[in-house]
């Protein structure tokens, strides 16, 4: 029956093309004919998939699992779209929900997949990974001696998780090193502390935001309230908001974090395939800092939600950006639950745009004041990240030149942090217009 239908569709296509010449409604008929031809081709491809599926089930050397075959097919389809779309089976979906809630077991790594290997986006502060010296840009080639090549990202992450106080060995490939590095880590309960803060010199509040999970905004509000109590308003020169090597997280948290510093106005818009899908997100809640000056630190590891916050504060002339160009991950992943036991789909559905209408995708956010760090010799070969534009299969930039590579190194000791000292100088009297990119004199 299906073969007969396909043949009929092909016959109707030919009729439609004939009528294009002789009939008064030619354009409409051609459109219908093309749609019919496209549908026929789609069903032909689905027939091919079915034929391959049946042949594998019948003839593979060992009896395969039907569910594993289907999951593998889904993974292949979705991962071919772009680096950020992915299918999560039921366990991976539950693990993701656990991670965004802010507490989970594991090593403390933010990771992605690149060329078949797991790539470290950033180690989370005060976790086994950061304590062991794992760095942004490291590639994980093996987990407990088993090659990562051929695993999905979710499978690799699952292997790195385990019982508290159990050990795992990661084989790391690091740019500039001739041979792989073996690192043994002890798993812990990872409590993601998304905000850290302290006062500096009695006149500046320093706030570091490490991730955007469900706890971020509330933690940020507590930080602002505490700093305001410790430093009298008349002495408070302003705040440094450090977003360096922050890989992002939840969109609603990016909007509410921006709202903490903005009295009103658009924070970000998302634009999908169709114009009617455009969404705009605005600041709500008022500026808790009471208009105090802001400097935002960014670098090549600042991605996604971090770029939304930096772009919004910059476009509203609310903050001066200091550091190096951000990562350039300007796409929206919508989480689509697929029903009980079936997991969920993280599908790229739109691009982010800053309030001024600039796309972040494959370009990133440029700082007003570019400050490059002095990178120790052992890190010189990995001081730059390739950025979104360097990822295979990435969504292209909407307009303009794509930007690849930006320094992501942050000195572990604040006294060596040139960007941080530049931020302090800005707040203590160096005047820089937030809409004019410039290179400033910074301390050496």
Q: Going by C-beta distance under 8 Å and a sequence separation of 6 or more, which residues neighbour residue 431? A: none
The whole-angstrom separation of Cα 115 and Cα 394 is: 13
Is residue 14 packed enough to be buried (19+ CB in 10 Å), middle (13-18) or exposed (0-12)?
exposed
Contact criterion met (CB below 8 Å) for 280 and 266 = yes
The whole-angstrom separation of Cα 148 and Cα 111 is: 13
286's tokens: 């008022």
CA distances from 39 to 25, 51, 173 (A): 21, 18, 46
329 is catalytic: yes
90 is catalytic: no
Contact criterion met (CB below 8 Å) for 159 and 118 = no
Residue of 138, 315, 368, 417 with catalytic role? 315
379's tokens: 């890190």
178 is catalytic: no
Contact criterion met (CB below 8 Å) for 424 and 204 = yes
∠ CA 363-365-366, nearest 5°, is: 105
Indicate the pairing of strand 319-323 with strand 369-370: parallel
Question: Whose structure tokens read 């940020």?
Answer: 220
Residue of 92, 211, 219, 304 with catalytic role? 304
Residue of 119, 159, 292, 329 with catalytic role? 329
Question: Whose structure tokens read 């706890």?
Answer: 215
Residues with catalytic annotation?
304, 315, 329
């Amino acid at each position: 029956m299906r073969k007969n239908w396909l043949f009929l569709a092909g016959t109707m296509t030919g009729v439609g093309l004939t009528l294009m010449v002789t009939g008064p409604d030619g354009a409409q008929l051609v459109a219908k004919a093309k749609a019919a031809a496209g549908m026929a081709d789609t069903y032909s491809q689905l027939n091919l998939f079915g034929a391959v599926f049946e042949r594998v089930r019948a003839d593979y050397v060992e009896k395969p699992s039907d569910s594993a075959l289907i999951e593998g097919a889904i993974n292949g389809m979705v991962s071919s779209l772009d680096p950020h779309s992915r299918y999560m089976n039921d366990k991976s979906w539950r693990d993701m929900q656990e991670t965004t809630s802010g507490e989970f077991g594991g090593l403390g790594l933010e990771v992605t997949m690149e060329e078949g290997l797991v790539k470290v986006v950033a180690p989370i502060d005060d976790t086994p990974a950061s304590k062991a010296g794992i760095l942004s840009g490291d590639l994980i080639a093996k987990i407990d001696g088993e090659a990562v090549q051929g695993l999905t990202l979710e499978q690799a992450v699952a292997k790195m998780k385990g019982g508290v106080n159990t050990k795992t060995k990661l084989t790391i490939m690091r740019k500039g090193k001739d041979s792989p590095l073996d690192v043994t880590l002890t798993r812990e309960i990872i409590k993601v502390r998304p905000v850290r803060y302290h006062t500096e010199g009695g006149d500046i509040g320093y706030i570091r935001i490490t991730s955007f999970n469900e706890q971020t905004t509330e933690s940020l509000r507590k930080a602002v309230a505490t700093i305001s109590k410790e430093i009298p308003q008349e002495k408070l020169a302003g705040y440094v908001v450090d977003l360096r090597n922050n890989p992002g997280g939840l969109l609603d948290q990016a909007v509410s974090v921006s709202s903490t510093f903005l009295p009103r106005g658009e924070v970000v818009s998302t634009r999908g395939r169709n114009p009617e899908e455009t969404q705009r997100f605005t600041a709500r809640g008022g500026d808790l800092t009471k208009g105090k000056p802001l400097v935002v630190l960014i670098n090549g590891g600042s991605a996604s939600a971090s770029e939304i916050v930096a772009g919004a504060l910059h476009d509203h002339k609310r903050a001066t950006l200091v550091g190096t160009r951000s990562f350039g991950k300007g796409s929206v992943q919508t989480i689509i639950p697929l029903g009980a036991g079936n997991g969920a789909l993280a599908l790229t559905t739109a691009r982010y745009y800053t309030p001024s209408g600039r796309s972040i995708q494959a370009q990133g956010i440029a700082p007003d004041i570019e400050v490059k760090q002095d990178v120790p010799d052992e890190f010189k070969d990995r001081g730059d990240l390739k950025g979104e534009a360097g990822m295979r299969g990435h969504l292209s930039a909407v307009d303009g030149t794509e930007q690849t590579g930006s320094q992501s190194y942050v000195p572990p000791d604040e006294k060596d942090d040139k960007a941080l000292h530049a931020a302090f100088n800005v707040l203590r009297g160096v005047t820089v217009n937030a809409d004019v990119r410039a290179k400033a004199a910074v301390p050496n």
